[in-house]
Amino acid sequence: MTGELQFMKSAASDIVPEWAPDPSVLPDWFTEALAVPREEGFVTVDGVRMHYFRWGNPAAPPVLMTHGFLSHARCFAFIAPFLAADYHLVAYDLSGMGDSEVRPDCDMTARGREMIGIAKALGLFGHARKPIVVAHSFGSAVALRALELAPDAFGGAAICDMMILRPSALEEYWSMGRTSPGSGDPNRPHRRYPDFPSARKRYLLSPPQPVGEPFLMDYMAYHALCREGTDWTWKFSPAVFKRDNSHRLWLEIGPRVVAAPGKRAIIHGEASQLFTPDSRRYLDELGGGDIPVIAVPEAQHHLMLDQPLAFTAALHAVLEQWSKSD
C-alpha cells in the first residue's frame, strides 16, 4: 500500500508578497503558528505521490487531519501548531488536490484506503494509542470510509461540519436547485489567469459565506493555485469530480456516522447551513445521543477561516478528553 518516503524542507515561507504584501498587519497568533517547526514531504500510497505536513513529537499520540473538497492541507497549518506540544499531527492533501497527485480512481473507497495508507506510511499506527482523525467537510466522508474499512485501526474521528441532514431536509435542499457538495464537471478545463489578483477573485467558498478572518482567504487561495508559464491556475484536478455523488450516499450519512466504529465527536459552526440544530436531533433519533456535539460560536461551515482559535480550542478539548478516557 505504501512506497518510499521523500522528505523535503519547507524552504520558502508560506507568507509571500503576492497574498501578504505587508506581513506586519498579520496577527501574531498566525505568524507564530507558521513559525512552529514542521516537516513537509511526500509519500507514495498505491502508486500516487501524496503531499503532507507533520508537527510535534512522533512519540506523542497521533492525529491525522484531512481537509474539505478542493481545499488543501494548509487549512490546518495555522491550527495544528497549537496542538503540537501534546500530539503528533499529520495533515495531508487528498489525491488530486493541493500538491498531491491525482488518483485514477477517486471514489470514496479508494480515498478511504488512501487515508489508511498515509497513516501507515507515516508511522501513525505504531503508537500505543490509535490515531484520531480530524476531518473537515468532504474529508469527514473520507474518514468515515477509512473507519469502516479498518474498524480496529483508528481510535475515532472528530467530524468537523460535515453535511448531516435528515432525509426531508436533504430533499428540501435539493429541491431549491442546489447540488450536493463535491459536484462538478470532470471534463471542464481549468481557467487560466494572468496574475494572482485575477485568480484570487475567483477563489470562492462552498457554500458561499463571508469569513471571520479575511486574510486567511488570501492565504488559502494562494496555496490553492500554481503557476503554468506566466499564467495562474488551480492545483486541483478536474478528475476529482469523477465519483459517485448520488443522493443515496448523502441519505446514508447520518446512519453511518452513528454506526461508525471508535469514538466520534462533531464540531460545527453555530451558523452552519450543513449541520443545524435539527441535525443534532436527527442523530439523537438515530441512536447517536452519545456523540458529543460542539458548536463554534460565530462560525459557519468553514470553521478554521471563521473562528480559528475557537475551533482549535474545541479540537483540543475533544482530543484531551479522549486521551483521558484511553
What are the tens digits of pLDDT across the range 32-76?
999 999 999 999 999 999 999 999 999 999 999 999 999 999 999
Task: Report, as an integer, the average pLDDT of 75-103.
Answer: 97
DSSP state of 176: T
Beta strands in the chain (DSSP E): 2-8, 39-45, 48-55, 62-66, 88-92, 132-136, 156-160, 225-228, 231-234, 263-269, 293-296
Is residue 12 scored above 90 in pLDDT? no
Full-model pTM: 0.94
Average pLDDT, the chain: 93
Is residue 183 scored above 80 in pLDDT? no
Task: Report, as an integer, the average pLDDT of 299-307.
Answer: 97
Task: Report, as an integer, the average pLDDT of 272-292.
Answer: 97
Which residue from 121, 163, 158 is spatially nearest to 254, judged by alpha carbons?
A: 163
> What domains sit in the chain, N to C, each tagged with a CATH number?
2-183+244-325 (3.40.50.1820)
Q: How confident is the model at residue 6 (pLDDT cuts 50, 70, 90)?
A: low
Q: How confident is the model at residue 2 (pLDDT cuts 50, 70, 90)?
A: very low
